[in-house]
Amino acid sequence: MSSFRAFRALAINEVRASVRNRTALIFTLGLAVLFMIIFGLLFGGSGVSVSFDAVNNDGTAQSAAYLRALSDISGVSVHTKSHAGAFSDLKDDSVTAVLVIPKGFGAAVEGQGPSQQVGIYQAGGGSAETAISDELVANVTAGFAGRGNPAVTLSAPRVAEVNQVTEMDYILPSMIAYIILFSGVNYVAIGLVEKRVTHVLRRFRATPVSSRTVLAAQVVGGALTVLLQILVLVLLGIWVFGARNYGNWLLLVPPIVLGTASFVGIGFLITSVSRTSESARALAAMVTFPLMFLSGLFFPISSLPTVVQTIARILPLAWASDALHQVMNDGAGFSAITTDCLVMAAWAVVTIAVASWRFRWD
């Protein structure tokens, strides 16, 4: 079919040109890698500090004294939390371990009840901090148990059933979302405005190729460029930066494809109101930069003011970011990201429909 041949040639040319365009690559893949390096430097390997969350089911003076004895050790901090709060902190990698003090701890120490066992939970993996924390807790516990009778003992360290998410694990799906956002808008949309302004579209129009074919090639070519960049980013993230994916790789495909489609659509809307490539760039920057900070790329949306949260939750990047984090960090299944995908699909359909209706050759 001749129109497929035309489409394929245009799309290949698009991907080839995008890969050769180093300036644009620096702003997408380059910046994403830079962010990962910065995050690695900010949060990675800065001395050993041990912090505990304690779930105190006992609440007596004895259990308070036990925790104080632990927190008196220099370099150790202890916070008393609810059960859920403590395990959520463990999951976010904000504590080294969770201690669970059983009810009856005080009575056991006073010799008025049966012997009790303090539980210690760590995330999987094992690090310098966890080894040190085991030893500290064991020493303190031995101090309490050592008054004649072994009233309290320490459980063997138990691995909690959580995926501990490091900063690097969190930033990788964020940077995937970042590439989707910037490439969708920059490669596809600004690329299209540039072709219009420099009369490349007009030249295509002088051939039998249809506007639909040209548009489709621009979108698909742009999307392939996005996928290539994500591939490079993920490989770098895992091999160089040690990020982990707890989910199914295939489940990343729907949010990546739909997210790209929705940003391509938004980019097209930008192009249909921009006469020059300069104004398209300015408008694109006005859309993309706030989105980047509003959509949970660098910190969770829940830490934003409510009004801003509401706005952020309407825009597609928050949904893309949510879906990617759920899959990669929580190992979520498709049912958990169905809503995300539906919202992004809706964005894509509406924006691309409006854009192709408003399409201008020149």
Partner 1 sequence: MAVAPPGPATSEAPGMMRAEPMPARTGLGGEMADIDVEGLVKRYRDVAAVDGLSFTVQRGEVFGMLGPNGAGKTTTLEIIEGLRTPDAGSVHVLGTDVLAHPQTVKERIGVQLQATALPQFTKVREAVELFAALYRKARPVAEVIDEFNLGEKADAYTDKLSGGQMQRLSIALALVNDPDLVFLDEPTTWLDPQARLNIWTVIEGIRQRRKTVVLTTHYMEEAERLCDRVAVIDRGRIVALDTPPRLIAEHASGTTIEFALVPGLDPETLRRLPGVDRVVADGRVSVTTRSPEAVLHVLLDPHAPWNVGGGVDGAAGGGGGGGGGGAIRDLLVRNGTLEDVFLSLTGRSLRE
Binding site for partner 1 (CB under 8 A): 2, 5-6, 8-10, 13-14, 16-18, 20-21, 194-195, 198-200, 202-210, 361
Closest contact distance (angstroms) between CB of 192 and partner 1 is: 11
DSSP 94-129: SSSEEEEEPTTHHHHHTTSS--EEEEEEE-TT--HH
Is there a contact between 243 and 168 (Cβ–Cβ < 8 Å)? yes
Residue closer to partner 1 by CB (options 9, 282) is 9
Dihedral of CA 166/169/173/178: which sign?
Answer: positive
Residue closer to partner 1 by CB (options 91, 195) is 195
Q: Which residues of 96-107 are buried (b: 16+ CB within 10 A; e: fewer)?
A: bbbbbbbebbbb
DSSP H helices in 117-199: 128-145, 167-183, 191-197
Give the Cα separation of 180 and 224 in Å (integer). 11
Residue closer to partner 1 by CB (options 83, 199) is 199
Closest contact distance (angstroms) between CB of 210 and partner 1 is: 7
Closest contact distance (angstroms) between CB of 202 and partner 1 is: 6
Token pair recorded at residue 223: 């999307």
Closest contact distance (angstroms) between CB of 195 and partner 1 is: 7
Residue closer to partner 1 by CB (options 75, 208) is 208
Residue closer to partner 1 by CB (options 199, 275) is 199
Token pair recorded at residue 120: 């210690």
Rama region for 70: left / alpha / beta (φ>0; ψ in -120 to 50; rest): alpha
Closest contact distance (angstroms) between CB of 207 and partner 1 is: 4
User: What type of residue is 51?
Assistant: S
Residue closer to partner 1 by CB (options 191, 267) is 191
Closest contact distance (angstroms) between CB of 24 and partner 1 is: 10
